[in-house]
Every structure is written in structure tokens, then in C-alpha cells.
Amino acid sequence: MTLQKNPQMFSLGLKEVWKVACPEYKPGYVIHTAGFPLGTSFGGGFLYCGANNYASVGLIVGLNYKDPYKNLYEEFQRFKSHPKVRKFLEKGQCVCYGARVLEEGGYHSLFARHSAPGVIMVGSGAGYLNFHKIKGVHTAIRSGKLAAENIFQAMQKNELNKLSAIHNAAVDKSAFVRELRDIRGYPGTFFVHPYLGYAASFLASFKPTRNMINALPFKKSCPCWMNTRPAAYYKKKPVYPSHDNVYSFDIDKSLGLSGVHHEYDQPSHLKIRGEVKDYEQMSVELYDKPEERFCPGKVFEFVNGELKFNAQNCIHCKTCTIKVCFEDGKMRVVAHGEDRVDMPRGQRRSQLVCLDYK
């Protein structure tokens, strides 16, 4: 089941909900952006106007970025300083903050099989998100519905032993997989270069040019964590503006709006697989503690070279299971009991759901 044609590719989506007072607010109004403030790494932002003067503003950052000094939370805070976004947020109030990983690999990163005896995968965890549109709710619902129908029919016919094969065949023919197949060429392009990805994203919006993009040979990618370069490559670190507490906020304030609650003394759901000392040494010496910057919950903290988990801050976005960068795969952060499956190099995958979630 785990063999994908390509390893899955991921982005982190950071989002805030605002109560807005902007005169241009109109329910259903949408802004999608590409580029700013991410420079030469892939990503873009969105602003969706919902009902009752609420608007969602967010930034999606491709986790294949190279610079270990990139701070994803600060990039999002900077995104809101763009005049077009800022104008919308003027005199408004941020009421909610969250972050979550999205699967962006599309058709070529789907599992070879969608079910196995005793297991059926549905929704985004199975990779059914349509990243071109950043829409995954409808594919999650459709895949869940298809799974329920197949289970029900198999039970009625007393054919549960054939369920896995029936479901695999049904998913391959389903509308949600056809939808991914229709834009299959696009995800591979932004792995080659973000600007190629932006151009492909535009061209994939129109049927004649979409076929042209689908014919492109860019299908191979490597897991996101392999793309991170050692800190020594980067002499100049990004400088982020200080927070004004009007449009941009300290992470502690944002975490207070995340709605995630843990007991302060709850046992940590995060642990290091492998030798902790080796992990700490490699993270500090080779990558200069990237965990402190990719985690949108300020969970990782190095104190005198020793890693401390502020596990109560975790907003369960899953970035750490994807972006921790140790090539031998023996050392990883394991969040929520989840782990990357041991697959051949270049074929690892995280996002396994573990039922011991507390």
C-alpha cells in the first residue's frame, strides 16, 4: 500500500481568522497570491471573506524550502504586511490562529493501493487534496462516502474478504482521483523551480494548456526534509520585522488563539527516535536548530544545546514529522505516535494515523 510513484510533497498552511471592518469586505470575495514574502521558495497566500464580517487570511509554504533559517511563523506575519492584505485587516481583530500540513503531491504521489485488509484510507491523509485549488474538503467527503458505500455493500453481500480489492478498483475510477489526474503535471513543476510552478499553476487553469503541463516530464521529487541545506550555505540570515501587535503578533499571543489545550504536566506526545544526544548535536552543528523556526507552535527550544519540548504549545500541524532533516532516517521527531514508514530512500512517508492519540 505504501509504494507511491513519487514520495508525497507537503506544504504548511498557517491561517488566522479575523473579524474585519474593511468597507471592501464582501462575502465570497477571494484573493490568492503567489510568491510574497517567500522569495525563491514556493508558496503563496490567500484571503477568503466568509459570512458575518469574518475573513480567513493564510500563507502556504512549500516544505521543500532549502534555507534552514526560514521562520515559517514570521513569514506569515510578514505576509499580512502586504498592502492588499493589510487594507482588509485594518481596524479588524484577529480571533483565531492555526496551522496544518497539506499534501501537495497530487496524482503522482498517491499510494499504489488505497486500502488493505482491515484498512481504508480516506481524505487528505490518503493524498486526495487538490492542491491546485487548495481544496480537499470535497475529496475527503467523497472518498469517505465511497469507502462507506463499499463497506456497506461488502457487508450486505458477505464479501468483506474482497473489500480491499473492490475499494482499490473503485477509487481508481472515482471522480476525485480523475480530478487529481486532470492536473497531474502541475505539482512536479514547483519542485523544479517555484517560478516554473507559478507559471504551470496559471496554465493548468485552462484545459488546452493543462494538457501541455500534464505532458511535462517533471514527476520525480524527493522528500521535503532532504531539500534542507546545511546552515553553512547561508551566510545571510533572514531578518524579520518586529511585531506591531496590530497586524502581526508574538507567537505566544497567537497560540492563545489556537484553541488547543493541553494539561501543563501532560506527558509529552513528542519524542526523538534514535540517540537524543546525536540528534541534538547534528541539529545544532549542521542545521543550526531549524526546529525552532519551522515549528509554528514554538514547541522546540534548545537550551545550552539540549532540546526541550514545550509540548503543551503543539498545535498538531505535523510539520516536524516531515521537515526534520536527518538523512539516515534513524533520527526523527515522532509526534502523536506517528512515524515515517521505513521505506527505501526517497520513498518515506509520514502522516500515518495512530490510534493511540490522546
Ligand X SMILES: Cc1cc2nc3c(=O)[nH]c(=O)nc-3n(C[C@H](O)[C@H](O)[C@H](O)COP(=O)(O)OP(=O)(O)OC[C@H]3O[C@@H](n4cnc5c(N)ncnc54)[C@H](O)[C@@H]3O)c2cc1C
37 prior amide bond cis, ω within 30: yes
Minimum CB separation of residue 270 from ligand SF4 in Å reads 6
Binding positions for ligand SF4, 232-271, rule CB under 6 A: 270
C-beta of 249 vs 287, nearer to ligand X? 249
Sole window of 127-135, 216-224, 262-270, 278-286 interacting with ligand X (rule: CB under 6 A): 127-135
d(CA 342, CA 346): 10
In our burial notation (b when 16+ CB lie closer than 10 A, e otherwise), range 3-28 reads: ebebbbbbbbbbbbbbebebeebeee
CA angle 296, 270, 338 (to 5 degrees): 95
Please name the residues in contact with 337: beta carbons below 8 A apart, sequence gap of 6 or more.
269, 354, 356, 357
Considering only 317, 324, 325, 331, the residue that binds ligand SF4 (CB under 6 A) is 317
Q: 273 is in the binding site of which of ligand X, ligand SF4, none (Cβ under 5 to 8 A by kind)?
A: none
71 touches ligand SF4 by CB under 6 A: no
C-beta of 73 vs 88, nearer to ligand SF4? 73
137 touches ligand X by CB under 6 A: yes
d(CA 133, CA 131): 5
Q: Which amino acid would we find at residue 115?
A: S
Sole window of 131-139, 148-156, 211-219, 241-249 interacting with ligand X (rule: CB under 6 A): 131-139
336 touches ligand X by CB under 6 A: yes
32 C-beta neighbours (distance < 10 Å), count: 13
d(CA 145, CA 49): 29
The answer to whether the beta carbons of residues 15 and 98 sit under 8 Å apart is yes
Q: 335 is in the binding site of which of ligand X, ligand SF4, none (Cβ under 5 to 8 A by kind)?
A: ligand SF4
Q: Check the CA dihedral 224-31-317-309 and report its sign.
A: positive
Considering only 31, 134, 216, 286, the residue that binds ligand X (CB under 6 A) is 134
Q: How many CA atoms lie within 13 A of 209 on its CB side?
A: 9
13 touches ligand X by CB under 6 A: yes
Give the x-and-dash track for 287-316 against ligand SF4 (CB under 6 A): --------xxx-x--------------xxx
The answer to whether the beta carbons of residues 275 and 333 sit under 8 Å apart is no
Give the x-and-dash track for 85-124 against ligand X (CB under 6 A): ---------------x-x--------------------xx
Interface residue list for ligand SF4 (CB under 6 A)? 270, 295-297, 299, 314-320, 335
Interface residue list for ligand X (CB under 6 A)? 13, 15, 58, 100, 102, 123-125, 129, 134-138, 140, 316, 336, 338, 353-355, 357
